Amino acid sequence: MVWARLVLMSAEAAFGLAFAKVPDGARLTFDAHGEPVDQDVREAIAGFVEDAPNRRITVSVVGVDLTGASAGGH
């Protein structure tokens, strides 16, 4: 269980670093059409989508259902 949580935290950190590198004013598309998307990844995307207007980032989400994914996580 500890190992799984460590891997999850590493993935969340990686997403945070990747999202931070998106320049303000950018246009970004998340496209996972036909691919399974883990709940934690959906929550990370939801958080990015929620914050995007503050950075003037236009986000399109394709193939990822963010229904029920809270930006704050669990």
Which comes out higher in pLDDT, residue 66 or 15?
Answer: 66
DSSP 3-state assignment of 41? helix
Assess if residue 13 is contained within a domain: yes
Residue 1's pLDDT band, with cuts at 50, 70 and 90, is: very low
Encode pLDDT of 41-61 as tens digits: 888 889 999 999 999 999 999
For residues 74 and 72, what is the distance between their CA atoms, to the nearest angstrom? 7
Assess if residue 49 is contained within a domain: yes
CB atoms inside a 10 Å sphere around CB 48: 22
Kindly state the greatest CA–CA separation across the chain. 40
Assess if residue 10 is contained within a domain: yes
Domain count along the chain: 1
Query: Who's near 5: CB < 8 A, 6+ residues apart?
Result: none
